[in-house]
Amino acid sequence: MPTPGDYAVRAVGWWRNLPERTRRLALLGLEIAITIGAFFLSDALGAGFAVFFTILWLPKLKPLPWRLGVEVLLVAIFLIASIWQDAVKAVAPTLAVAFAISWVPWLGRLTKHEGIPATARERVIKPLSKVALPASLIAVAVTFPFFASHQFDIPVFGAWPDVHTGVIMLVFVMMALGLNIVVGYAGLLDLGYVAFYAMGAYTAAWFASLQFANQNIHFGAIGVDPKLAGIHISIWILLAAAGILAAVVGILIGLPTLRLRGDYLAIVTLGFGEIMPQIARNGDKLFGTNFNLTNGPNGITPIDPPGFGVWVSTHTGGFLPANYLTSGDNVFYWTALVLVVFTAFCSWRLRDSRLGRAWIAIREDETAAAAMGVPLMRTKTWAYATGAFFGGIAGAYYAVFKSATFPQDFFFNISVSILCMVILGGMGNIWGVMAGAAFLEYLDQAGLANTGAWLNDHLNLNIEVPKYEFGIFGVILLVTMLFRPAGLFPSSRRKLEFEEGVHDEPLYDIQHDEYGAGTE
């Protein structure tokens, strides 16, 4: 008897077999119906859907004059609307900047036959087109604390995330990028990534707190009395140490799994991911002794704050703060942004390196990669260690930001959430993973609560949406895997793997007749 999953697969297959024109018309009709229905609930929601669907259709339009005309029309509409509605004053300039940036890659693809001199094209436009999007996104991210509170409310989701939420989003973006190296590049399904996060967090807690009160070691700590008991080492040193110790744990976890594939690999990594929280919870009497490693369920708090000291802060004109606790969340946010840029840059460079190509070869066909001379065990171990390194740094920084770490921070659902971020965004695609991680973490921190409040106000419901968080994430993941199996923003290579497969092609052009005989 067919299951609901079978019917869903058949429906997806039927949809994909429809002519392209039919699918586009059907989508357009559905989007118009959704927009009209949304207007009955809220004018802001209807306008939001209209703008969202219009932007989705822009890449399918001819650049000149249709796409440019629609973009100018959208900006003009919001400029006029801002005369009467203060809430949309920031929409028009936001759209104008975003549309202007989107035209730079198109300029880079222009040829000399379209009126652009070869010298200007090769020396100015093409290099500019390659850095325009990253530079623009970094500029927006850097200035986010200054305009976040002045932006328009997002329909249904409410206000934009504040700076505190932005810090947590960036931390999970970093962890998702680290897991993307293991899952997206090397194709190793890791369900225990939370172990590296925990290792990084406890590394910061052990060496920047009162945990080991029988010691009195100080080295570069900021805002700490030199006579205070415990180990107090500079947070900047601990971030590197956390990454290195997490990488060691990654190697230890990876070694027993090097000969495993598929479900067996997932089960073993899941086991390791469950071991770490148990050690954290029962580490106040480790292995039945009186040695207190993790302080058990009470966790370790407070953790020393980061900072650069008075001397450095004075000689940099206050650009580098002496103590982060006296500077607010903005400096935590900018530091997290630097760590994310560092992680993304390393991921990008690793992807195009010899090691990155070896990871991708293993992901596509492990047997063929081994036959071509790729050392499987060493290459897989590097994947685990590299992914763990960035997870450890993210865990350490998050613990410092919260000034505490607790065993309940490292349950299995954290590993699943990070894996969902990678799958939703698009495994193997750095930009996609960053977008998926930021979106899901925003939902976790504020989006679902705001959505619940909106539903209760507009539909007279009484439902606590955050309680159903993982059910909602499951539905998002299910829909993504059915309709966009490569993710919302897949890499071109990953997309081809899903659409065409990675099966081998015959060495010779041989066709078989009805009796099985081959002819060239």
pLDDT tens-digit readout, 53-81 = 888 888 788 877 888 888 888 888 888 87
Query: Which pLDDT value is given to residue 117?
Result: 58
Given a contact cutoff of 8 angstroms between Cβ atoms, the answer to whether 94 and 79 are in contact is no
pLDDT digits (tens, 9 = 90+) for 178-204: 999 999 888 888 888 888 999 999 999
Q: Which of the four pLDDT bands, split at 50, 70 and 90, describes residue 520?
A: very low
Query: Which pLDDT value is given to residue 499?
Result: 60
Q: Which of the four pLDDT bands, split at 50, 70 and 90, describes residue 512?
A: very low
pLDDT digits (tens, 9 = 90+) for 222-249: 878 888 888 889 999 999 999 999 999 8
Query: Which pLDDT value is given to residue 120?
Result: 55
Q: Could you give the CA distance from residue 144 to residue 333 in angstroms, rounded to a whole number?
A: 9
Q: State mean pLDDT over 497-509.
A: 51
Q: Which of the four pLDDT bands, split at 50, 70 and 90, describes residue 507?
A: very low
Query: Which pLDDT value is given to residue 498?
Result: 61
Residue 515's SS3 state is coil
pLDDT digits (tens, 9 = 90+) for 407-466: 888 888 888 889 889 988 888 888 889 999 999 999 888 888 888 887 888 777 788 888
pTM of structure: 0.83
Q: Could you give the CA distance from residue 348 to residue 246 in angstroms, rounded to a whole number?
A: 21
Nearest to 398 by CA among 258, 122, 202: 202
pLDDT greater than 70 at residue 302: yes
Q: State mean pLDDT over 36-46.
A: 78
Given a contact cutoff of 8 angstroms between Cβ atoms, the answer to whether 376 and 370 are in contact is yes
Residue 217's SS3 state is strand
Tokens of 513: 């007749």
The 3 state secondary structure assigned to 234-280 is CHHHHHHHHHHHHHHHHHHHHHHHCCCCHHHHHHHHHHHHHHHHHHH
Q: Which of the four pLDDT bands, split at 50, 70 and 90, describes residue 177?
A: very high
Given a contact cutoff of 8 angstroms between Cβ atoms, the answer to whether 160 and 148 are in contact is yes
Residue 208 main-chain phi, psi, to 5 deg: -150, 45
DSSP string, 448-485: HHHHHHHHHHHH-----GGGGHHHHHHHHHHHHHHH-T
pLDDT digits (tens, 9 = 90+) for 159-173: 788 899 999 999 999
pLDDT greater than 80 at residue 494: no
pLDDT greater than 80 at residue 261: no
Q: Could you give the CA distance from residue 508 to residue 90 in angstroms, rounded to a whole number?
A: 61
Tokens of 449: 């609560």
State the average pLDDT for the chain: 81
Q: State mean pLDDT over 122-127.
A: 62
| C-alpha R_g of the chain | 26
Q: Is the peptide bond before 302 cis (omega within 30 degrees of 0)?
A: yes
Least confident of 93-97, 354-358, 481-485, 513-517: 513-517
The DSSP secondary-structure symbol of 373 reads T
Query: Which pLDDT value is given to residue 108?
Result: 62
Nearest to 336 by CA among 402, 424, 241, 264: 402
Q: Which of the four pLDDT bands, split at 50, 70 and 90, describes residue 109?
A: low
Nearest to 269 by CA among 249, 297, 243: 249
Give how far Cα 501 sits from Cα of 306, 482, 498, 506, 507, Å: 48, 17, 6, 15, 17
Q: State mean pLDDT over 463-483.
A: 83
Least confident of 78-92, 383-397, 458-472, 503-517: 503-517
Q: Which helix (H) or strand (E) holds 70?
A: helix 68-81
Given a contact cutoff of 8 angstroms between Cβ atoms, the answer to whether 247 and 392 are in contact is yes
